[in-house]
Amino acid sequence: MKEIKRGAEAIIWLEGDQVIKERIKKSYRLQEIDEKLRKYRTRKEGKLLLEVQRIGVDAPNVSKISEEDFKIKMDYVEGTRLKELFSQASDEEIRRVSELAGKSVGILHKNGIVHGDLTTSNMILKDNRVFFIDFGLGENTSRIENLATDLSVLKEAFRSTHFKHLNPLWDSFIKGYKQTNDNFNKVLETLNDIEKRGRYVRRNE
């Protein structure tokens, strides 16, 4: 196996055409609590990935969920991360792919799933399809505030990483989102409220 990424919560290993996500031990936690948390989060993410595929959104195929080893084994998605794609693609391509992403996120939200870390680093374009990876912070929820927060994270990622293309990216994403989530009005209204609160806090810091 070859280590291809190491984060605060997990190590990603490459083994042939499969990746293994292994949640790592936290020495500052009591061992019993640490193991329970890692088992729970491994189980939750594995189930979310399976559910995401079931509702028709592209994500890595899961071949094994091993709670005892704190590991999820899944297909390696070989494509281009949207983070890199949006830095070099034409305006037309940016709009097209962003709309595709918006459609998929709309399906997630319509089915009560938030990604939790919705950034262009966690989206991969492969065969003209947008795959979503890393659902470690994802959850099942129907709370409008949670759905709007998911979009807020993405908009901030657009603003900080792709500021030159912010307007076409966001407009196209929302165009796609509206096509698949019938509840988009409430979500966007709440997103607007979140942004207003953020501006108020920044003005008063």
**Is residue 127 located within the same domain as residue 186?**
yes
**Is residue 12 located within the same domain as residue 69?**
yes
Q: Report how many domains make up the chain.
A: 2
Q: State the Rg of the chain over Cα.
A: 18
Specify whether 117 is catalytic.
Answer: yes
What range defines the domain where residue 15 resides?
A: 2-75
pLDDT at 65 over 90: yes
**Is residue 51 located within the same domain as residue 104?**
no
Residue 168 tokens, joined: 């076409």
The active-site residue out of 58, 75, 117, 150 is 117
Check which CATH number belongs to the domain holding 17 and give it. Answer: 3.30.200.20
**Is residue 31 located within the same domain as residue 102?**
no
Cβ atoms within 10 Å of 56's Cβ, excluding its own: 11
Residues 31-42 pLDDT 10s:
999 999 999 999
The pLDDT of residue 108 is 98
**Is residue 100 located within the same domain as residue 188?**
yes
Give the global pTM. 0.92
The pLDDT of residue 202 is 46
Residue 183 tokens, joined: 């509840």
Residues 139-192 pLDDT 10s:
999 899 999 999 999 999 999 999 999 999 999 999 999 999 999 999 999 999
Residue 48 tokens, joined: 């979310």
